[in-house]
A = this chain, B = another copy of it.
């Protein structure tokens, strides 16, 4: 079960002026489940996106990039679960284009104004006829308050829908920010996670929206890992509709910071929700690497620890077999690492220093921390000022079960 994720109430996810969401059951992979989402974006909105760096990126990712570069305003998103349309070659592109064309016809917009997203099994052709059959139903139930249904419609092995929402004020105008995302395996985003969409009715120019997207991604979706597999379909889309009535944000400063911090909060909440609902997860683990020379080496150490199956299974077992953490730090590939300077804390407990076990450390202390479902560790390299925090989960029987049985 997801680690400390509370069920969401429908009214906890605020509507965003200029955004409406429609859901359909299109029988893409399984009968009688919400598997198709149409997002309508009002004219005058701005859209920014980051995508996976996987060389085998999916056809819809290629098309998203093409459409975002084009001259036409983005007016709709179409998202299906059940098939990733990745590893599908030229045929995949054709089918993604056909999906966009169908959406364009329904909404009376150009197909270049549609961004397509897919998630599910790789190496299978997109059932574009099923998607086209489902679209009228999705069109019919377009509504501003369908965020939670939308979160459900993009799930794959996710156990719970993931959404987050917040209201802030800019220039005394009320601003809504709402977002949804899905995980929950093949998670080691290298640009953005599987699928995340955040929209706000704040007003901001395109250059700053793009900049904000990158800054937020670096602090949220690029800080999580479930299994170290970078997906072919990772996409994170940020939309501002500009319908809240304040003057457009055209420079960095207070308004930019307020909006960015709020969007970052939502993005971190969604990113953490992906980890909390990571395949088979029973624990939520925060890995903080401090006093490194730069962010790069801090990230190397943090992800070496977060990816180690040995460490992840020890956390699953609540076994403070913490030497495995030292081993992972040791093979992270950091130049001229002086291991005698490193300090390892589990929660508030000093576990290791001077190249070995801390004199004050007792197994009972480690045991006490390990039994909780939320665990944090701090690794101090004591050689610089950089600091990075990433989030991951443990590795359980259920991860194997879920992924061994994924397609059945």
Contacts and interface: CB of A to CB of B under 8 A. Distances in A.
A332 B321 CA distance: 30
Given A397-B400, A399-B313, A405-B317, A90 B328 contact: no
A375 interface: no
Given A121-B323, A404-B316, A310 B232 contact: no
* Most chain B CB within a 10 A radius of its CB, from A227, A397, A404: A404
A18 to B, nearest CB: 35
B87 A326 contact: yes
A403 B122 CA distance: 30
A329 B401 contact: no
Interface in A98-154: 121-125
A406 B319 contact: yes
Interface residues on A, range: 35 or more
6 contacts: A55-B329, A228-B309, A230-B331, A321-B407, A395-B400, A397-B400
Copies in the complex: 2
A365 interface: no
Instruction: Tell me if A's interface is mostly helix, strand, loop or mixed.
Output: loop
A337 interface: yes
Contact of A401 (B53, B314, B397): B397
Contacts of A188: 331
B403 A87 contact: no
Contact of A326 (B232, B309, B310, B355): B232
B407 A319 contact: yes
A400 to B, nearest CB: 5
Given A227-B309, A327-B56, A399-B313, A89 B404 contact: no
A185 interface: yes
A352 interface: yes
A330 B55 contact: yes
Interface in A325-346: 326-332, 334, 337, 339-340
A127 B84 CA distance: 54
Contact of A55 (B91, B122, B309, B331): B331
Given A55-B331, A407-B321, A316 B400 contact: yes
A88 to B, nearest CB: 5
A408 B332 CA distance: 28
B54 A331 contact: yes
Given A54-B330, A397-B400, A403-B314, A87 B229 contact: no
A186 B91 CA distance: 42
Contact of A356 (B89, B321, B332, B405): B89
Interface in A64-84: 84
Interface string A40-54: 000000000000011
B55 A324 contact: no
